[in-house]
Structure 1
Amino acid sequence: MTRTSRATRASTTTTTPPSPGLLVVVVVLAIGMLIPVGYVIEATARIGLDELGALLLRPRVGELLTNTVLIVLLAVPLTIVLGVGSAWLVERTDLPGRRFFAVLCVAPLAIPSFVSSYGWASIVPSIQGLGGGLLVATLAYYPLVYLPALATLRGLNPSLEESARSLGLTEGAILLRVVIPQLRLAILGGGLIVALHLLAEYGAFAFIRFDTFTTAIVVAYQSTFAGPSAASLGIVLALLSIIVLAIEATARGRARYAYVGSSSATQAQPIALGRFTPVAILSVTALGALATVVPMASVIRWSFAAKPDMLDGLWRALVDTSLLSLSGAVGAVLVALPIAWLATRHPSRLSKTLEGGYSIASSLPAIIVALALVTVTLNVAPAIYQTAATVTAAYVIIFLPRALVTLRAGLAQVPESLEEAARALGTPPLLARLRVTLPLLLPAIAAAGALVALGAANELTATLLLAPTGTRTLATQFWSAASSIDYPGAAPYAITLVLLSIPAVALLFAQTGSKAR
């Protein structure tokens, strides 16, 4: 079996080499993607080690480091517990109303974290600090673990659990010794995404007065215009992101959990909760209520207090948001498609290296990307400083992984033999790709664009720093009103943001089911 697997792998990797044109395009795009990394290196050299040491040894930096590290260390395990626990309840037990609760648990993804923070702060004005940040972040981000855990549970071979059960293991032991190990990659991947979101979070934490590196960098930028203070804090934030990536990669290792043979035709038998059923229902209901109902109830309540003149800028903000989000989605798909093609159709060490460069650049927080583009445009291309082109570039860098992962999965499902058959019939290679591969890839392209557009519409930090003068997006208009304690004025923008997010979240949830079933 091992020899067969190796032979199969060898046959799939010894494909025709990529064209020089494709390599040039991918390398050029990779250089553009690495601008934020170059900014961090240049900022370190420009400041100098002595000045950098003086800036980083301030008590304020120690406080920011403590807050940032604590929120990551506390929130990530909590999101894992809530995400895996809720996924197990709705997928592996006889919980009444499982379909309803499955949707309820993913619903918080449709509510931007800064809107959730606004909802909680308007209900509980005293919420602030680490406790407030932990509450808001955990409730907003646990679906990022829930979705991959749910997809993995739906794809597991139930015979593994049945075998453990036949050996006399209790359901708790099966969960810990059989199910959880197979969720390792989903847990690590979800935890990584949550950690990177926490490092990059601005709006949710600034609203409840919880200071982290990102909130401090925005304040420093606004006061010193990307001076040494903002740059020094950005260096530390970038290093924290790299450390998180390294920890996840080390924990993941090379382990893979798979079973040999075809999947069982039968679904796993639901585990009877028995006397724990009321506790399970109460737990999942409380989680959904705290994460979704409470913040949205606050938003809807304030929307009734909004005056007609508060809606004057809503249409303009909706148009600007749609245009910028669309440009970011198109840009991300166009940038991701060449590297996805290279990684899928021409896998090699070079393609993995180039793909890794894309990933490193996109893992940096949005504030680092924004500061890098500010510096580059001011010094190299001042004509595009604070233009839609700069905002689009930021969206592409920040949200490229959403497009890349989706397109790579879509290309992997398109048989290359179809394209080869078309070429064998005399169709030129480019025309064969347009006639055969592109139509089959359109669903993946649409999904990738939708996911990027969702992130771009809700993006706050980079938009605040880079948007052209006079540009109004739903996120920035919401932030302008909410930060001025104009809760009624902020509510219409919050509701519109949520409504825009629902289709993309529904698409994510649908893909989770379709891929696994």
Structure 2
Amino acid sequence: MAALVIPALLILIAWPLLFIILQAIFPHIGRGALDAPFSLFGKTLADPRLVEWTLNTLKLGAGVVCGAALIGVPLGLLRGLFKVPFAAVWDLLFLVPFTIPPYIAALGWIFALQRRGYVDQLFGFNLGHMLFSYWGVVFVMTLNVFPVVYFAVSRSVAAVSGRYLEAARVSGASARVSFFRILLPLSLPAIAAGLLLVFAMSIEEFGTPAVLAARSGFLVLVTGVEQRLSDYPIDLPGASILSIILVLLALSAFVGQHWLVNRKDFGSMSGKPSRQELKPLGRYAPLVLAFFFAVALAGTFAPIASVLATASTRTISGGLAVDNLSLKHFRDLADQSSGALEALTTSFTLGIGTALITGMLGVLTALVTVRRKTPMARFLDFLSLVPNTIPGIVIAVGLILAWSQPWLPVTVYNTPWVLVFAYCCLLLPYTVRYATTAVRQLGTGLENAARVSGARPFAVLFRIVIPLILPSMVAAMLLVFAVASRELVATVLLAPLGTSTIATFIWGQFEQGSVGLGMAMSSVAILVTLTVPALATLITRRFSTGGAAGF
């Protein structure tokens, strides 16, 4: 199995990352020359825009971190400490913004808050000036990523043993002392780790800054990389150097997160953790519910409603008038001339292919890394997780560089396969983590018994391992399908001429002014994004309750 895993990971992950480094060092490597090493570092690093882009990237990450902390930490504390009415409903509603593609949420906010937008039509004011600025990007991205902090804080607070707080109360400690001396220190690693993850997600996001802030001149490293790849003359070495800077920023956040999560381990004194009793909200219940509702309204309902409203109106200028409501744009999706069916077919085909490849490779990687305690296994485990720390645009740059070399006898560049390679590289960590957890729970008894009975390795894999971990793998593969079918940044940079996907179709319609048709496709993307994870959850629960009897 290692003979299959090693070359697959090297080709999908190590190969493109290697060429980013090589292109940055040797600017003429595309011509097969290794002369003038590091010659463009000085020119690129001396570009006055680089300082501005880097500072803007850090400023954006810091702004989104502050926004996510202001929303996610109070919500998480309330959810973990008190009996919040309809708690499960709020959890579901707050998960939705995290699953909606960020660029689609940004488009929804444009038509809601711009001049003559839906808020202007309904309430007589607009926030267009704020939206198309740094603060607008922070606002939209905060509403997309605050669930990371919310779930981290709520789960961490809920996991803190009630014995600590009860012991503090019996000892005469006030609620304020219990919070600052017990609860907050125990929850701080989870809060900090969640915020660092938010920072990494913010600095690598391309769609929202490109849609909202580019016109106001607020450019970040991600948009800088895209500019060097799209503007003539194309600057591959400069794009590589910017990509390395972006990777270092993202990697520093993930290293900080890993250090905080693993620095200390808290447990209950008895060795038997117990969930603390949730306290009633009392007279503060209406205020807390208003807070939860306001966040759900802004983060979940508003962008989705804006997308659906735009998709359901005949013309944008006609506004929300009853006689302007129409399903024309949804009918146009079924028209062959629009190219929507081709985009849907392409996206779903690529998504299914990516899910199958990453699913099988995830299982093989998990078996090698879990069952073998060797340096090579640890290296493969690390390599399979590297894409989690690398922005998608960097993966796209690496694939362009790696597969456009003139000396390659065979290349996937400028073919649909390059998109499959990109999606597999970006999403492989999902299936590897799911498979690793499932394989560790299996133990080795059944596999050892099969080998003693003379079964070959692949017979053990297909007759024992895969059937037993199938529920977890189906859930992971459905998640991969949902993300791959609407991925934007790598698709925009890598899609061959004439290849259209859901993301490029929406992006192209928005740039051409056909916003209604683009929003109709966005509605389809939202439907797929919300339905597939729900289906994965149902499948997992069904197998978890009935799977034991079946196997």
Q: Aligned-pair distance for 1:285?
A: 0.9
Q: Aligned-pair distance for 1:173?
A: 4.3
Q: Aligned-pair distance for 1:293?
A: 1.2
Q: Aligned-pair distance for 1:197?
A: 2.1
Distance 2:168 2:209 in 1: 44
Percent identical:
24
Pick the aligned partner of 1:468 from 481, 496, 499. Answer: 496
Checking the alignment, whether the CA contact within 8 Å between 2:362 and 2:432 is kept in structure 1 is yes
Q: Does 1:28 align with 2:7?
A: yes
Give per-residue Cα distances to partners, 1:64-101, cap 9 Å, x unaligned: 11110111122124324533432332343122222221
Pick the aligned partner of 2:252 from 220, 231, 243. Answer: 243
Distance 2:236 2:171 in 1: 64
Pick the aligned partner of 1:293 from 301, 326, 329. Answer: 301
Q: Does 1:135 align with 2:139?
A: yes
2:484 is aligned with what amino acid? A
Pick the aligned partner of 2:19 from 18, 39, 44. Answer: 39
Q: Does 1:229 align with 2:238?
A: yes
- What pairs up with 1:82-481 in 2 under 5 angstroms? 82-125=71-114, 126=128, 127-184=131-188, 186-209=190-213, 210-223=218-231, 224-259=233-268, 263=272, 267-306=275-314, 307-308=328-329, 310-311=332-333, 312=335, 313-379=339-405, 380=408, 383-424=411-452, 427-481=455-509
Distance 1:349 1:168 in 2: 53
- Check 1:367–1:356 CA distance in 2 against 1; reply closer, same or farther (3 A cut): same
Q: Aligned-pair distance for 1:288?
A: 0.9
Partner of 2:34: none
2:256 is aligned with what amino acid? I
Distance 1:200 1:52 in 2: 22
Distance 2:404 2:101 in 1: 31
- What is the aligned-residue RMSD (CA, Å)? 2.8
Checking the alignment, whether the CA contact within 8 Å between 1:150 and 1:512 is kept in structure 2 is no
Checking the alignment, whether the CA contact within 8 Å between 1:90 and 1:99 is kept in structure 2 is no
Distance 2:541 2:461 in 1: 29
Q: Aligned-pair distance for 1:23?
A: 3.4
Checking the alignment, whether the CA contact within 8 Å between 1:479 and 1:490 is kept in structure 2 is yes
- Highest Rg: 1 or 2? 2
What secondary structure does 2:422 align onto? helix
- Check 1:296–1:382 CA distance in 2 against 1; reply closer, same or farther (3 A cut): same
Q: Aligned-pair distance for 1:110?
A: 2.9
Partner of 2:30: none
Checking the alignment, whether the CA contact within 8 Å between 1:86 and 1:105 is kept in structure 2 is no
Structure 2 portions without partners, runs of 5+: 28-36, 115-127, 315-327, 543-551
Distance 1:450 1:172 in 2: 45
1:487 is aligned with what amino acid? V
Distance 1:28 1:474 in 2: 31
Checking the alignment, whether the CA contact within 8 Å between 2:478 and 2:533 is kept in structure 1 is no
Q: Aligned-pair distance for 1:230?
A: 2.4
2:2 is aligned with what amino acid? L
1:165 is aligned with what amino acid? R
Structure 1 stretches of 4+ with a deviation exceeding 6 A read 507-514
Distance 2:430 2:354 in 1: 12
What secondary structure does 1:386 align onto? coil
2:384 is aligned with what amino acid? Y
- Structure scoring higher RCO (CA < 8 A, sep ≥ 6) equals 1
Give per-residue Cα distances to partners, 1:175-202, cap 9 Å, x unaligned: 4444444445544553343233222211
Q: Aligned-pair distance for 1:374?
A: 1.2
Checking the alignment, whether the CA contact within 8 Å between 2:475 and 2:540 is kept in structure 1 is no
TM (norm. structure 2) is 0.81
Q: Does 1:76 align with 2:65?
A: yes
Greater shift, 168-177 or 237-246, is seen at: 168-177
2:422 is aligned with what amino acid? A
Q: Aligned-pair distance for 1:205?
A: 1.1
Checking the alignment, whether the CA contact within 8 Å between 1:91 and 1:153 is kept in structure 2 is yes
1:503 is aligned with what amino acid? T
TM (norm. structure 1) is 0.86
Checking the alignment, whether the CA contact within 8 Å between 1:151 and 1:512 is kept in structure 2 is no
Distance 2:416 2:270 in 1: 51
Greater shift, 405-414 or 159-168, is seen at: 159-168
Checking the alignment, whether the CA contact within 8 Å between 1:406 and 1:444 is kept in structure 2 is yes
Checking the alignment, whether the CA contact within 8 Å between 1:226 and 1:371 is kept in structure 2 is no
Distance 1:374 1:276 in 2: 56
Q: Aligned-pair distance for 1:402?
A: 1.4
- Check 1:504–1:156 CA distance in 2 against 1; reply closer, same or farther (3 A cut): farther
Distance 2:471 2:541 in 1: 16
Checking the alignment, whether the CA contact within 8 Å between 2:393 and 2:489 is kept in structure 1 is yes
Partner of 1:64: 53
Greater shift, 107-116 or 350-359, is seen at: 350-359
Checking the alignment, whether the CA contact within 8 Å between 1:314 and 1:492 is kept in structure 2 is no
